[in-house]
Amino acid sequence: MAGCGLWRAGAAARASRALWDFSGSRRSLRTSVRAPAFAKELFLGRLEKKDVFPFPEVSQDELNEINQFVGPIEKFFSEEVDSRKIDQEGKIPMETLEKLKSLGLFGMQVPEEYGGLGLSNTMYARLVEIVSQDGSISVTLAAHQAIGLKGILLVGTEEQKAKYLPKLASGEHIAAFCLTEPASGSDAASIRTRASLSEDGKYYVLNGSKVWITNGGLANIFTVFAKTSVVDSDSSVKDKMTAFIVERDFGGVTNGKPEDKLGIRGSNTCEVHFENTKVPVENVLGEVGGGFKVAVSILNGGRFTMGSAVAGMLKKLIEITAEFACTRKQFNRSLSEFGMIQDKFALLAQKTYVMESMTYLTAGMLDQPGCPDCSIEAAMVKVFSSEGAWQCVSEALQILGGAGYMKDYPHERLLRDTRILLIFEGTNEILRMYIALTGLQHAGRILTGRINELKQGNVTTILETVGQRLRDSLGRTVDMGLTGNLGAVHPSVADSASKLEENVYYFGRTVETLLLRFGKTIVEEQMVLKRVANILINLYGMTAVLSRASRSVRMGLRNHDHEVLLANIFCTEAYSQNIFTLSQLDKYSPENLDEHIKKVSQQVLERRAYICAHPLDWTS
């Protein structure tokens, strides 16, 4: 659950317009120029098979290596972690934290040279599956390394890494990420915390407050974002965000009492205050004025592991719930015999399979040489997994009925824990805008010439477009090389692959139409952006399961026929959803109710109330 904590990290962007403007062996973390990634090409109606087929694999040596960690960690969580007690007491016992440190879990992605495990993204995701058995522990560890110390890994100097990473990797020091403030949630660029350079130029004086900081009361090291005065290229002085590494021992650092939260109650979440804290200039993280980029890089980098975290939790939940359903009798039959209960288990299995596939496909791409920019893919994994978690835990609780509402079973705690997933690491609303706008900007750059020709009435381009749309209306056959003798997918999922190809083609045509219709004003069309993001999430999920299921069948993995069932079910449902959503993107389609929705919302918000007359009323 990389990047977890109660930081309102819609911080990936200031707002929709800023999103549009900004998008402008053991493996070490890479910071080189990134290659284009898979998802952006979907906006052009292209399916780049080389990035996603075949499904990524790890070597046998890597698998053996990670399995050395898996056993002891699973044993610890099953035998020594009391999640119910952690939830009730609102804290993780000190002996539990010490054991986590001894297992190396505070330095999973810190390079070996600094005392960490140096895990690749794929191996990190595998351990996150186990750590997620307790939400509070998962959040504590993720806030420490996925965001707390991640900035040092990504942009820290060699001196900063050598000074801070060894003690952070061992857990001797704990890290926190300080971005969110009382007046700035998703609008990260509106922070008010300020760092002023001293007259001698040797340190910054930091003043301000941060809220909802995970590990805020435990941390020794803070990644803090503050406004600084920066001389711009035109010699004007502007306020820009800068990132700092701040030690508690610098002085002037205090924290409030732990927040009383709905879920993940054992994690430490509190306000952190900085009063005249002197931060040496050598503790600037990245460039002065480059804090926004640092924040975005940190948050974008780790979101994908929410998929493995949720999948790990759901696997355990399926076991507990299935045991109940198979032993609980009603009407002289086991609950498991009833169709609507079976439907819920199929949903649980399907969602788990899809998010797991999306996660490890993304991790595999991140581990490739050249480190492609997978920020869209990671955001899609986060949105799908967080919403899948909330839906699946609710359905699992429903299977237990009244028993699920009681604390004897973990379902009610998991329901409380999973609700935060839709909010932190970037709210799903902000991330949907990020997904859509980043891809649309990529398509816009490439399609600008063609769109301008259409607007200017270029006859050749217009005739070409009319011809394309005529062929589309007559039922175009789309072949992107997924099926057939030389196809990328196994014949058992060929029909689903054809559905994906069709969806991708028509998505690309729709993107072109939207750019022609809205131009840059599309940044204000949030209902349109939501639909674009939803289609893309489905397309990525379809790609991931088709790639994974094909590999499983060809390798003869156990229960590969079950994977084929799950892949085909998801692809059929996603295909239908995409067809409907694509129709909604047509302004004049009867399925498009945007104007009605806006009108209802305006009338409610103008009165700040539900405005319908009571059904028992006779007159106004």
CA distance 235 to 258: 44
- Per-residue pLDDT at 483 exceeds 50: yes
- Classified as helix, coil or strand, 334 is strand
CA distance 80 to 379: 33
Instruction: Output the pLDDT for position 255.
Output: 97
- Per-residue pLDDT at 475 exceeds 50: yes
Instruction: Output the pLDDT for position 558.
Output: 97
In sequence order, what are the residues at sequence separation of 6 or more whose Cβ sits closer than 8 angstroms to the Cβ of residue 194? 206, 207, 208, 226, 227, 228
Question: Which of these, 346, 353, 344, lies nearest to 401 by C-alpha position?
Answer: 344
- Please, which pLDDT band fits residue 302 given cuts at 50, 70 and 90? confident
Residues forming a β-bridge with 254: 273
Stretch 307-311: mean pLDDT, rounded? Answer: 97
For residue range 116-125, list pLDDT tens digits in order: 999 999 999 9
Active site residues: 425
Question: Contact, 316 vs 134, CB < 8 A?
Answer: no
DSSP track, 202-263? SEEEEEEEEEEEETTTT-SEEEEEEEEEEE-TTS-EEEEEEEEEEEGGGS-EEE-PPP--SS
Stretch 399-419: mean pLDDT, rounded? Answer: 97
CA distance 53 to 388: 25
Stretch 293-306: mean pLDDT, rounded? Answer: 90
Question: Contact, 6 vs 424, CB < 8 A?
Answer: yes
- Classified as helix, coil or strand, 178 is strand
- Per-residue pLDDT at 617 exceeds 70: yes
For residue range 221-254, list pLDDT tens digits in order: 999 999 999 988 888 899 999 999 999 999 999 9
- Please, which pLDDT band fits residue 20 given cuts at 50, 70 and 90? very low
Instruction: Output the pLDDT for position 188.
Output: 75
For residue range 210-225, list pLDDT tens digits in order: 999 999 999 999 999 9
SS3 content of the chain, % helix, strand, coil (to 5): 60, 10, 30
Instruction: Output the pLDDT for position 190.
Output: 85
Question: Contact, 124 vs 29, CB < 8 A?
Answer: no
Question: Contact, 554 vs 398, CB < 8 A?
Answer: no
AA letter at 49: K
Ranking 66-75, 460-469, 597-606 by mean pLDDT, the lowest is 460-469
Instruction: Output the pLDDT for position 234.
Output: 83
Tokens for 432, please give them.
């949907």
Question: Which of these, 548, 550, 536, lies nearest to 585 by C-alpha position?
Answer: 536
Q: What is the mean pLDDT of the chain?
A: 91
Stretch 106-135: mean pLDDT, rounded? Answer: 96
Question: Contact, 194 vs 132, CB < 8 A?
Answer: no
Stretch 321-332: mean pLDDT, rounded? Answer: 96
For residue range 257-267, list pLDDT tens digits in order: 999 999 999 99
CA distance 192 to 146: 24
Measuring CA to CA, how many Å separate 156 from each of 4, 9, 68, 223, 282? 21, 21, 30, 11, 10
Tokens for 325, please give them.
């359903």
Measuring CA to CA, how many Å separate 124 from each of 99, 121, 305? 18, 5, 8
DSSP track, 439-461? HHHHHHHHHHHHHHHHHTT-HHH
CA distance 512 to 459: 18
Instruction: Output the pLDDT for position 30.
Output: 39
For residue range 140-196, list pLDDT tens digits in order: 999 999 999 999 999 999 999 999 999 999 999 999 999 999 887 677 778 999 999
pLDDT above 70 coverage of the chain, percent = 90
- Classified as helix, coil or strand, 71 is helix
For residue range 28-82, list pLDDT tens digits in order: 333 344 556 799 999 999 999 998 999 999 999 999 999 999 999 999 999 999 9
For the chain, state the CA radius of gyration: 25
Which contiguous run of DSSP H or E holds residue 102? helix 94-102
Question: Which of these, 59, 112, 31, 57, lies nearest to 365 by C-alpha position?
Answer: 57
Q: 333-334 and 175-178: which strand pairing?
A: unpaired
